[in-house]
Amino acid sequence: MEAVLNSPASDARAQSFEIRPFDGAVGAEIVGLDLAQPVSTEDFQRVHRAHLEHHVLVFRDQHITPAQQVDFSRRFGPLQIHVLHQFALPDHPEVLIVSNIRENGQPIGLGDAGHFWHSDISYVDKPSLGSFLHAQELPEEGGDTLFANQHTAYDALPAELRKAIAPLRAEHSYLAKYEELRSRSPWRPKLSQEQIDQVRPVVHPVVRTHPESGRKALFVSEHFTTRIVDVPEDESRQILAELFDLSTRPEHVYRHVWQARDMVFWDNRAVMHVAAGTPDHLRRKLYRTTIEGDAPF
């Protein structure tokens, strides 16, 4: 599948920028590309190839508007609107506010996003291709994000386990941990019936094939995966517990320490992520856009 070129860029001038791979499980930083300027087709395709190769891209020092973030994100495909629409940025429903800030006694965004390891929006028929997260306000300490490479996690599985899980399918549900998270945070809203209807459970392969690279990756998470279907409950729990442990071992993980105006773009078909947490008294605000992907196979 080729990335979608939805924004006209034929007249854009090429920019000079570097792609610097991280020395670790995943990731690269992009230095010198200004996303506030039109991105040429050639530069866009270079970014696209880097995203497939490194799975997590860190665009440094991006002084862009939410509209510019939306426009660049949309070049990879249609955008998904989060079910918690009350935390969408006014005038930009495609942008989810991720923040622990409260104004007039109310949260301005989703403050406990990423508490458990997960792949974004795996609980719909067409899970996310990838997510962009742009730093608006960062705490003086904490607030890191961890990414786990699910290709290398799959490759490292014992051969017998890889064979056993090859035909398996698992249920994903947005509601799996929702009430637990609400009990931890009084600021997480109660879902309306309309919202619940938008996130009915779906079933996906335990091992998915990346639609662009062809590589296999684990596709289960402690946040959204509830059970493996068509196997006994105790066996399902045992398999999932083992996969959850193996998928996030340190050798597969990159820890992102945010810098001012970073924008991070990760491949939800290749990695999982989790938030390391922010002290309650420190402010953190980021803007997220999420790109629709394909039905996993």
**Is 118 in the active site?**
yes
* Residue from 269, 287, 288, 273 nearest 126 by CA: 269
**Is 102 in the active site?**
no
Dihedral (CA of 245, 205, 129, 121) sign: negative
Residue 292's DSSP bridge partners are 128
Question: Is residue 288 a contact partner of residue 95, using CB atoms and an 8 Å limit?
Answer: yes
Q: Residue 254 is which amino acid?
A: Y
**Is 215 in the active site?**
no
Q: How far apart, in whole angstroms, are the C-alpha atoms of residue 114 and residue 125?
A: 21
Active-site pick, 75, 112, 115, 120: 120
Active-site pick, 118, 172, 256, 269: 118
Q: How far apart, in whole angstroms, are the C-alpha atoms of residue 127 and residue 223?
A: 14
* Max Cα distance, the chain (Å): 59
The runs of H, that is alpha helices, within the chain are: 41-54, 66-74, 150-155, 159-165, 178-184, 193-198, 233-247
Question: Is residue 172 a contact partner of residue 225, using CB atoms and an 8 Å limit?
Answer: yes
Q: What angle do CA 27, 35, 88 make, to 5 degrees?
A: 85
**Is 273 in the active site?**
yes
Active site residues: 118, 120, 273, 288
